[in-house]
Structure 1
Amino acid sequence: MGNTLTSSLNFTTDYVDIFEETVAWIILSIGLPAISLACYALYRLIKADHVAPLYVINLLLSDLVQIICRIYFVSQKHFGFLSPELIKARLIFLVIVRFGLVASLGFMVCISLERYLVVAHPLWYRYRRNLKYTVLTCIFIWLFSVIYAVIEYNIEVYRTFLSLLATLFLLPFPFLLFFYVSSRRALKSTISVSVAEKNRILGALALVFGIYVVLYLPFTFMAFFLVISNIRTYTVYCFMAVARSMVRLSPLVDPFLYIFMRKGARDTLEAFPCFRRVFGWSTTRSDAETT
């Protein structure tokens, strides 16, 4: 989220700018290596009958798109890119960031749906799941995000853009809430799933729902508030800056979904050859099954 209205404000935003720049540096220094490691580890989990990691990998790739674009914004702060071409490039990078955000929300819904089907409709899921359909779903989400990016790039009225983005941010809420609540109820009555598997499924659903509620909903409410009230006070600007920063922090949390794709702490670390060499572990169960 860029400071689109900064030029029309009648108060200074220096302290808020420092806060947002600090968040940007935290994201770059921690998020980039964390997502890269998680993508590598999840790539090792992809099998013909294990489609969940594919959604998580695409989620992390959408986070990676956002982080790479943030490098430009941090550089612009320090080097002062003011030429017309670079100002236009900033707008393009902002659109790409929001393209990544929309894709992230789509893959979060897919992860929750997949975990819900495992619990609530296990037989249907066992015989109907297919890697081809998973790939087609991922392609559809990326294409939808591209269409949104093209539409946003051609929107010149800020309130119209904010209304569209807030609406898209709000759409996943009923789905994520339904998948979480229904899966929780189904897990209490099922006996075909082990306790460890129940914890992993519920943990993944809780993490996805928690990420959405804590990081995305505050911005959604603030965006609707700005669209409806059109209030431009310093307090509102600060709240909006915090809400923007919360959304930007999602790439720091999404890699934790990798933990719920594994069977334990050792199984998590074994995905990395360096840990296997350090601790002297043999080939992992996942590697053996793949072979």
Structure 2
Amino acid sequence: MNNTVKCHDDHTLDKYLFPFVYGTVMVISIPINCISLYVSCIQVRKKNELAVYLFSLSLADLLYSVILPLWIDYAWNGDNWTLSARLCQFSAFLTYMNFYTSTAFLACISLDRYLALVHPLKFQHLRTRRISLIVSIIVWLLEGTFNSVILMNKEVFNDPCNSTNHILCYDKYPLEWWQAQLNLFRICSGYLLPLAIILFCYHKIYQAVRCNQATVNEEKKKIRKLILNITVSFIICFTPYHVVLLIRSIKEPQTSNLQLLQSMYKIYRITQAFTSLNCIADPILYCFVSETARTDILNLLRCCLYLQKPEGNQPEEHALCSSVTKSNALVTYRSSCETETL
């Protein structure tokens, strides 16, 4: 009872930090993920198996980005959900779908690059557009089924701190035992396993490139930098959140001190907000670094600019767009043999 009386919640940080982070992510993430979807579609039509994973990754990031206004409203009200309970369920569902479909597809991309660069001939039958499509569908179905538990339960709760009348959406404190067990499963299957796959694959890729006498030192340096950026990005975006989630899942079911629980919940919310940076990092590191992707984006801009000119020039404009698209096939073929796209 004393813990409850002393409980006090200051929502100033929530009101300003989260809208700033989520707003920044939303403004940047939506356009660049739309571009990434466009580039991926082009490459899927050219039977590029990697593009299937990139398309799914961009789609997951885009779906999360478009619901960020709901989380901005939640944070602006000091972690007080003022919308419908069903909308809370839907927002939480898409949030966790993004977290764990993203980590799954990042692992798939790493594995595909590992097979392409370390075992280019041995596992060609596993690197087809059909296999990538099947794997992607399985990932979406598994994550959708697993996270559907969010849609089946009440996900709005009264804040246990009696100095506030706030309604919490999905994440609450203290965690119940079954929620803690669910989180431990998420940490192992949705974070640790993909992280292990990514570290293994990029370590092997780096070793293969380093020992390849045909690859010049400048190219090796570029590959090493890209591998480092991808790995660090994954760790920065997802590790703090899952470390705090692990601590909460172990300690909260056994703790009754509301002040301690509230402090832990604050840290958890901050790390959760910064996972959204993943929606910006993904298209930059996995799409825009590719020469083929940059060429496709440039072609799109050229076509859009030319089509806005007077009608008298349109036949020539369409011819240019057509020739640019045809020349892109050569670029695609060449880039598929390069080690730049990891």
| TMscore range, shorter length | 0.7 to 0.9
Q: Which residue does 2:298 correspond to in 1?
A: 270
Give per-residue Cα distances to partners, 1:137-166, cap 9 Å, x unaligned: 000110111121123445773434433333
Q: Which residue does 1:162 correspond to in 2?
A: 183
Q: Which residue does 1:66 correspond to in 2?
A: 64
Change beyond 3 A, Cα 1:159–1:14: farther
The reply to whether residue 260 of structure 1 matches residue 258 of structure 2 is no
Q: 1:26 aligns with which of 24, 27, 43?
A: 24
Q: Distance in 2 between matches of 1:217 and 1:204?
A: 19
Give per-residue Cα distances to partners, 1:102-141, cap 9 Å, x unaligned: 1111100011001111111011244542211110000011
Change beyond 3 A, Cα 1:203–1:63: farther
Shift of 1:13: 2.3
Q: Return 281-290 or 118-127, whichever deviates more.
A: 281-290
Q: Distance in 2 between matches of 1:48 and 1:128?
A: 17
Change beyond 3 A, Cα 1:289–1:258: closer
Q: Which residue does 1:246 correspond to in 2?
A: 274
Shift of 1:91: 2.2
Q: Return 252-261 or 160-169, whichever deviates more.
A: 160-169
Q: Distance in 2 between matches of 1:33 and 1:11?
A: 36
The reply to whether residue 214 of structure 1 matches residue 236 of structure 2 is yes
Q: Give the share of equivalent positions with the same residue, in percent.
A: 16
Q: Which residue does 1:130 correspond to in 2?
A: 128
Alignment map for 1:139-288 (pairs within 5 Å): 139-154=137-152, 157=176, 158-167=179-188, 168-191=190-213, 205-230=227-252, 232=260, 235-256=263-284, 257-262=286-291, 267=295, 269-274=297-302, 283=324, 285-287=327-329
* Paired AA for residue 51 in structure 2: P
Give per-residue Cα distances to partners, 1:168-205, cap 9 Å, x unaligned: 22221211110111111011112466778767765664
Q: Distance in 2 between matches of 1:59 and 1:196?
A: 29
Q: Distance in 2 between matches of 1:204 and 1:49?
A: 24
* Paired AA for residue 111 in structure 2: L
Shift of 1:18: 2.0
Q: Distance in 2 between matches of 1:29 and 1:150?
A: 28
Q: Return 132-141 or 33-42, whichever deviates more.
A: 33-42
Answer whether contact 1:270 1:276 (CA < 8 A) is retained: no
Answer whether contact 1:200 1:260 (CA < 8 A) is retained: no
- When the two chains are superposed, the root-mean-square deviation of aligned CA atoms in Å is 3.4
Change beyond 3 A, Cα 1:289–1:182: closer
TM-score (norm 2): 0.70
Aligned residues: 280
Q: Distance in 1 between matches of 2:29 and 2:53?
A: 19
Q: Distance in 1 between matches of 2:293 and 2:144?
A: 37
Q: Distance in 1 between matches of 2:134 and 2:120?
A: 21
Shift of 1:225: 1.2
* Paired AA for residue 36 in structure 2: A
The reply to whether residue 13 of structure 1 matches residue 32 of structure 2 is no
Q: Distance in 2 between matches of 1:249 and 1:175?
A: 21
Change beyond 3 A, Cα 1:108–1:271: farther
Q: Which residue does 1:56 correspond to in 2?
A: 54
* Paired AA for residue 185 in structure 2: L
Q: Unmatched 5+ residue regions in structure 2?
A: 1-5, 155-175, 307-319, 333-342
**Bigger-Rg structure (1/2):** 2
Q: Which residue does 2:338 correspond to in 1?
A: none
Q: Return 197-206 or 207-216, whichever deviates more.
A: 197-206
Change beyond 3 A, Cα 1:127–1:160: closer
Q: Distance in 1 between matches of 2:228 and 2:107?
A: 12
* Paired AA for residue 328 in structure 2: S
Q: Distance in 2 between matches of 1:164 and 1:264?
A: 36
Alignment map for 1:75-154 (pairs within 5 Å): 75=73, 82=82, 86-126=84-124, 128-154=126-152
Answer whether contact 1:99 1:148 (CA < 8 A) is retained: no
* Paired AA for residue 175 in structure 1: I
Q: Distance in 2 between matches of 1:197 and 1:126?
A: 24
Q: Return 175-184 or 163-172, whichever deviates more.
A: 163-172
Change beyond 3 A, Cα 1:21–1:246: same
